[in-house]
Amino acid sequence: MSDPSVTGTVPVEQPPPVLSLESLSLSFGGLRALSDLDLRVGEREIVSVIGPNGAGKTTVFNVITGVYEPSGGDVRFGGQSIAGKPPHAIARLGVARTFQSLRLFPNMSVLENVMAATYGATKATPWESVLRLPRARREERQARELAGDVLSFFGQRLAGYRWDQPAYSLSYANRRRLEIARALATRPRLLLLDEPAAGMNPAETHEITELIGQLRNARELAILVIEHDMHVVAGVSDRVVALDHGVKIAEGSFDTVADHPSVVEAYLGRDPEALT
Amino acid sequence: MMTAPPPAAPPPAGPQIGADEWVARLAERRVYLPSWLGTAQRAAERVGWWPRLALAGLAGAVLPLAGLGGFQLQVGIDALVIAMLAVGLNVVVGWTGVLDLGYVAYFGIGAYGFALLSSAQLNIHLQAYLSLPAVLVGTWLLGLAIGLTSRRLTGDYLAIVTLFFGEAFVEFTNNVAPSKLGGPNGIVAIDPVKGFGASLNSNTSYYYLLIIVLVLTMSVLRLLENSRTGRAWRAVREDPLAAAAMTIPVNRVRLYAIACGAGVAGLAGAIYAAQQVSVFPTDFDTPILILVYAGLVLGGAGSLAGAAAGALVVMVIYDGLLRNAAESGYLFYGLILLTLLVRLRPWRRLAGVLAATIALGFAAHAIARAISASAVAGGPQSGGWIGSALRDWVIVPANSKIAGNWGFVILVCLLIALVQVDVRTRTILLPPVLWLASFVWEARLVTEPSITRQLMIGAILVVMMIARPQGLLGQRRVESPT
């Protein structure tokens, strides 16, 4: 309250955002994939990123998770800069993601897929594992419990006999669910979902919309979603950010962004009558 | 962070998408063999990994008691050494998906390391309980160091760089410090494995030592496979990018796998050096690498038991059965007959082909003898009953070398043609091809065992790829996205 630095410089500072991108830029050679992008995701907030193909949505995810190093600006997670850190270190800090083109471990069982994601949270050395010392046994048991817990989020779909089946044998929708379960097993604070409803039928799409809301409530996650299905975007978003050619063209509630002239133009092109 | 997550949401009411009863009750639908075979199958499925491994080790241990001796024991020792190498390579290639073509160099480093620590070369004569762990840790660390230099390389690039490394080791031992490493003359008069006043001097003792070490190594690796380390290895093989996004430090995990593989290879090298009493640079060249990979692929990369079994099968065939003419004949004709029995359907076709082949041979032999006696003067080169059974069937001229060479070229051309043509033509072509194959075998291949056994291993691998691409004990795998 009486701290002058707070009252003086920062006007209405809400609790610090989980993730903030500060004038983030990324170039591939001469091509600017992202320019001066600002984005914030607060605690327990669901933000959707929309935009036409090639707008740079997945690139944003890749920069956040450390696949690419930004050529300008900063990525701050929980107040700490994570730009330039290796992907596994960023994941350990609490950023989990799913992939647009599914990237499971296809020849490992469903349970192993999820348990593999507990690597960063466990500490047993290989020798402890070989000799089955107490710490290794305890961690193994906890990993298994955590796996069962995140898999049970999907009800019957990834339960029981499916645990021991290889991931490649799952249906497409179940693979998407398994990817989310695997991401949850890293115990994230921020979850990045890259087109979670792609390739799903209307019933499954509806289910995924419900699920994203449940995830936020039950696990207290901040969630950043890339999605093309506007039913999902309208259903889950607290806030929507529209990108085109790596530039933020609109931000706000779903209705504001959906009606925003630049967004309409990015998706549909300029109204020919407006040109004349 | 998160504490005690609340219970999961109940599944939505109404029909469940994806909750298919049929798949759920798959286990009940499994078909077993009839009668007691099915019972045995069911019982075998319930046995865990360690009773199986112990049983396999015991089976290996009773072989010398059942009259395995001399030459066969040496084959067994070589097979066990290669099995050790295959098991170690399985960590690197089968689990972590790192294509390491310089793997045999670690075998050589282990052997030379043991040789230097227990010979007059440096005048060090360590006890085995010191030298074996020293070699194990040394090669492990070396694997780490060498892996570190190439840690940014993956896939094809890593394969080529490691291949260079393997060759560099041979050149190094051939040329560097001949007074210490012996150059091409190697290191001779290496101490046996000794300690606590005892020493292993007979081949039988090394055979048992290798069985014990192999079983222990496989146990350790099996326990690792199902730990966080093993899961991380496989995750990195499946998809490095996804593994990194799931908190797995990909480079470190890869390095650790390379080091573990190197350690196993080093240990195998040390025992090999002690058993052979000498080491030479050529012992650690590409032919060994090919055998280890052949064993791993044949057994099924990614399966620990498969790697060991595949290497044992390859080595017993390569070193045991294909070394002399009489025994290699059984394998050659046996494999051909087996393939025909399995692949030729219906049985009328099979009977027709066999009858035509037999008739063709006798007719050709009779005609050739009528024309010129020298055309059949050579006789089949396989001894034993196979040789005498084929005496009037296969034509082997007095000077069989040139005819055999041409026969081989024509046989290869015909085999290529055989897979291109339609079924009817193939059936007609099959008898002359079989007869020609027998001719080439009797005239040429039997007398060149060193070439023949490599061809045979290649042929077995080709058959394996067609019949069971995942290898003997491997699991069928799908390709990863990257």
**How confident is the prediction along chain A (276 residues), in pLDDT tens digits per residue?**
444 444 444 455 566 789 999 999 999 888 889 999 999 999 999 999 999 988 899 999 999 999 999 999 999 998 899 998 999 999 999 999 999 999 999 999 999 999 999 999 999 999 999 999 999 999 999 999 999 999 988 877 887 778 888 999 888 889 999 999 999 999 999 999 999 998 889 999 999 999 999 999 888 899 999 999 999 999 999 999 999 999 999 999 999 998 898 888 888 887 767 655
Which residues in chain A are closer than 8 Å to B300, comparing Cβ atoms?
none
Smallest CA–CA separation between A32 and chain B, in Å?
A: 23
SS3 of B80-110: the string is HHHHHHHHHHHHHHHHCCCCCCCHHHHHHHH
Q: DSSP class of residue B322? A: T
With respect to CATH, is domain B49-321 assigned 3.30.300? Answer: no
How many Cα atoms occupy the beta-carbon half-sphere of B6 within 13 Å?
Answer: 9
Q: How many residues does chain A have?
A: 276
Which residues in chain B are closer than 8 Å to A121, comparing Cβ atoms?
247
Q: DSSP class of residue A220? A: -
Smallest CA–CA separation between A133 and chain B, in Å?
A: 12
Which residues in chain A are closer than 8 Å to B96, comparing Cβ atoms?
none
Residue A266 confidence (pLDDT): 87
How many Cα atoms occupy the beta-carbon half-sphere of B149 within 13 Å?
Answer: 8
Residue B28 confidence (pLDDT): 66
Helices marked H in B374-422: 384-389, 400-420
In this complex, do B249 and A160 lie within 8 Å of one another by their Cβ atoms? no
According to DSSP, the β-strands at A46-50 and A239-244 are parallel
- Whether A106 and chain B come into contact, CB under 8 Å, resolves to yes
Q: Could you tell me how many CB contacts below 8 A there are between chain A and chain B?
A: 155
- Whether A191 and chain B come into contact, CB under 8 Å, resolves to no
Residue B141 confidence (pLDDT): 96
Residue B21 confidence (pLDDT): 60
Closest chain B residue by Cα to residue A214: B9
Please state, in angstroms and rounded to a whole number, the distance separating the CA atoms of residues A232 and A200. 12
Residue ranges of A 30-59 with Cβ closer than 8 A to chain B: none
Residue of A88, A132, A219 with shortest CB distance to B250: A88
DSSP B410-460: HHHHHHHHHHHS-HHHHHHHHHHHHHHHHHHHHHTGGG-HHHHHHHHHHHH
Smallest CA–CA separation between A188 and chain B, in Å?
A: 8
- Whether A18 and chain B come into contact, CB under 8 Å, resolves to no
Q: Which run of H or E residues covers position A50?
A: strand A46-50
Residue A9 confidence (pLDDT): 47
Closest chain B residue by Cα to residue A149: B8
- B304, B222 contact by CB (below 8 A): yes
In this complex, do A130 and B227 lie within 8 Å of one another by their Cβ atoms? yes
Across chain B, mean pLDDT equals: 87
In this complex, do A161 and B24 lie within 8 Å of one another by their Cβ atoms? yes
Residue of B235, B302, B478 with shortest CB distance to A168: B478
Residue ranges for chain B with pLDDT beneath 50: 1-19, 482
Please state, in angstroms and rounded to a whole number, the distance separating the CA atoms of residues A33 and A15. 30
Closest chain A residue by Cα to residue B6: A218
Q: What angle do CA B287, B288, B290 make, to 5 degrees?
A: 65
Q: DSSP class of residue B475? A: P
Residue A176 confidence (pLDDT): 92
Smallest CA–CA separation between B210 and chain A, in Å?
A: 21
Mutate: best of B20, B221, B228, partner A, most A CBs <10 A: B228
Closest chain A residue by Cα to residue B244: A88
- A26, A68 contact by CB (below 8 A): yes
SS3 B214: helix
The pLDDT tens digits for A5-15 are 444 444 555 66
Residue of A120, A152, A214 with shortest CB distance to B247: A120
Cis peptide upstream of residue B346 (ω within 30 degrees of 0): yes
Domain locations in chain B as residue ranges: 49-321, 327-447
- Whether A127 and chain B come into contact, CB under 8 Å, resolves to no
- Whether A91 and chain B come into contact, CB under 8 Å, resolves to yes
- Domains, chain A, ranges and CATH? 16-94+188-270 (3.40.50.300)
Residue of B19, B231, B242 with shortest CB distance to A112: B231
Please state, in angstroms and rounded to a whole number, the distance separating the CA atoms of residues B260 and B254. 10
In this complex, do B228 and A129 lie within 8 Å of one another by their Cβ atoms? yes
List strands edge to edge, sheet with A31-41.
Answer: A31-41, A19-28, A72-77, A80-81
Residue A6 confidence (pLDDT): 44
Smallest CA–CA separation between A1 and chain B, in Å?
A: 27
Q: What is the pTM of this model?
A: 0.87
Please state, in angstroms and rounded to a whole number, the distance separating the CA atoms of residues A157 and A34. 38
Closest chain B residue by Cα to residue A177: B18
